[in-house]
Amino acid sequence: MTQTPDTEGSFWPDTLAASIVAKRGDSHVVATGITPSGPIHLGNIREVLSGDAVYRALNHAGSSAKLIYIADTFDPLRSVYPFLPDDYSQYVGMPLYAIPDPEGCCENYAEHFLKPFLAALDELGVKVEAYRAHEMYKEGLYSDVAVEAVASSAKIAEIIGRVSGRELPEDWISYNPECSECGRITGPTVTGADPAGEWVDYECVCGHSGRADVRAGQGKLPWRVDWPARWKVLGVTAEPFGKDHAASGGSYETGSEIVRDVFGAEPPEPIVYEWIYLKGQGAMASSTGLAISINDILGMVPPAAVRCFVLRPRPEKHIDFDPVNGIPGLHDEYDKFEKTYFSPDDPVDEWSRRIYEISQPGEVPTEIPSQVPFVHLSVAAQAAGGSGEGALEVIGRSGYSVRESDRPAVLSQIERAKVWLSEHAPDAYKFSIQEVVPDAAGDLIPEQLQFLGKLSGVLAEVDWDPDTVQSSIYELGKENGLNAKKAFGAVYTSVIGRDSGPRAGYFISSLDRDWVVARMEEVGAL
Ligand SMILES: [Zn+2]
Ligand SMILES: [Zn+2]
């Protein structure tokens, strides 16, 4: 995979930070937000990582920036998602903070999905100040803007109607009360409001009529008003958001006009990002179940490589994530940036250097960590029958040296390889060493059996390293009139009971030599 650098040769967060500083000075609040309505997936992570990259770039450029994250806990549950019990239909329309945890382990629905997400952010090295939207309303952070918005409903309706083309009802009031009887935020219809914006009256689908105190947060602003209100309240100067909000007439455009004309503030600099697609399936979305949670991904890919994968492409480029075939390549690409960064000969280019630095969840290492290609780790893990320590031994035998201080990191990588193998990897990457001669060996032709007999003698003598083993098999096959497929096929069949497998040189040399020699001899004598 290659990537065209920015024209200036700098990494996009740095280019963007420079332009933000030029326009807005050097004190910044970068805001990110996600609705915790389901497991938070890799697509959502692009929002937070993009914000984190720009936040880091702003500080790197000498600004004073902070990164905040707002969980939209005051948003309603929109439908009974595929991962919810059927009886959750009773909670549709209620805000997420007020719905019980579907698994009963956390304070409420929103917290259930927030907890693992915040843990993932911590692992990814994203240091955010986290806010919960319902608390911001109930604790009074929104009081003044909410009252202002209700009092300015006619002006806001005019802006939304003109900019988005969306026809709003006459006497529309910019407020969604929370019904004090049934708890729904989608149930009430506003029937009247204080011209000064302090209260609204409503009738709910449940039959209840009541009055909501705007200042006390007994309801929330509709999305198109909530967003600009948040910019004003938190002083947001830059914010990543999905391309849907950036469309012409979309919520960024209406929000920009509302924040200027109603709240008297400037909209943040936009960081518009494309979706992350699950390869061959579509854009990730937790509402459809078409997603892999960030926590599951961190079980297969270390935080730095996740950051590198998501942040390397410019935000407007779409990203394909392929959990089946893409995982080894994703590790390899990160390893390549790391090698480039620590290359003793060439001075590293600015683009690669910044990608590596911004990919680090913590401090940038001072020397290159021990690298073992991911596919080799997956071979070693299987050759060792799943034991981490055993796999480390296999890795050592096959010519990779792992420093003592890097053993814990490599052991974690072995665990990640095992997760990938059991959850997603295609069969081509999977094998198990056969303890006794496999039945499939009975199908080998006489030329292959003779070849194996000779191979046992050769392998007993040669240097036990991947390249020598690989070329010994190939050369001996040629001398005996076997093409590569037949020669290597005979070796694989003897060891794993099928005629293809991981790259033979590395694979065979990772096994115990005496065992291999004995097995070739035994099959050769069939
Ligand atoms: Zn829970
Ligand atoms: Zn109600």
Do 101 and 239 lie in one domain? The reply is: yes
CA–centroid distance, 208 to ligand 2, in Å, is 6
CA–centroid distance, 229 to ligand 2, in Å, is 26
> Range of 448's domain?
439-524
Which residues 6+ apart lie within 8 Å of 407 measured at CB? Answer: 392
Helical axes 350-359 vs 327-342, angle rounded to 10°: 120
Do 489 and 413 lie in one domain? The reply is: no
Query: 10 Å Cβ neighbour count for 167?
Result: 10
The reply to whether 76 falls in a domain is yes
Do 31 and 114 lie in one domain? The reply is: yes
- Ligand in nearest proximity to the CA of 209: 2
pLDDT recorded at residue 400: 87
pLDDT recorded at residue 8: 53
CA–centroid distance, 413 to ligand 1, in Å, is 28
- Which residues, by Cβ under 5 Å, contact ligand 1, an ion? 101, 103, 105-106, 112
The reply to whether 390 falls in a domain is yes
- Ligand in nearest proximity to the CA of 115: 1
Do 425 and 495 lie in one domain? The reply is: no
Do 43 and 98 lie in one domain? The reply is: yes
Rg of the chain's alpha carbons, rounded to an integer? 29
Report the candidate in 146, 129, 138, 115 with the shortest Cα–Cα distance to residue 32. 129
The reply to whether 64 falls in a domain is yes
Which residues 6+ apart lie within 8 Å of 524 measured at CB? Answer: 449, 450, 451, 452, 453, 454, 455, 456
Give the pair of three-digit tokens for residue 418.
């095992």
Q: pLDDT for 242-271, tens place per residue? A: 999 999 999 999 999 999 999 999 999 999
**Of all helices (H) and strands (E), which one includes residue 295?**
helix 294-298
CA–centroid distance, 38 to ligand 1, in Å, is 11
Question: Which residues does residue 255 pair with via DSSP β-bridges, in sequence order?
Answer: none
CA–centroid distance, 80 to ligand 2, in Å, is 19
Question: Looking only at Cα atoms, what is the longest distance across the chain?
Answer: 97
Query: 10 Å Cβ neighbour count for 176?
Result: 24
CA–centroid distance, 216 to ligand 2, in Å, is 18
In the three-class reduction of DSSP (H, G, I as helix; E, B as strand; rest coil), residue 484 is classed as helix
Do 88 and 237 lie in one domain? The reply is: yes
Tokens 């001398």 belong to which residue? 479
**Of all helices (H) and strands (E), which one includes residue 278?**
strand 276-278
Q: Which residues of 341-380 are buried (b: 16+ CB within 10 A; e: fewer)?
A: beeeeeebeebbbbbbebbebeeeeeeeebbbebbbbbbb
- Residues of the chain falling short of pLDDT 50: 1-5, 7
d(CA 386, CA 389): 9
The reply to whether 22 falls in a domain is yes
Task: Give 15: exposed, middle or buried? Use CB within 10 Å, 0-12, 13-18, 19+.
Answer: middle
The reply to whether 193 falls in a domain is no
Do 385 and 486 lie in one domain? The reply is: no
CA–centroid distance, 109 to ligand 1, in Å, is 7
- Ligand in nearest proximity to the CA of 178: 2
- Ligand in nearest proximity to the CA of 116: 1
Model confidence, pTM: 0.91
Q: What is the CATH number of the domain that holds 515?
A: 1.10.10.350
pLDDT recorded at residue 4: 47
The reply to whether 38 falls in a domain is yes
d(CA 56, CA 358): 8
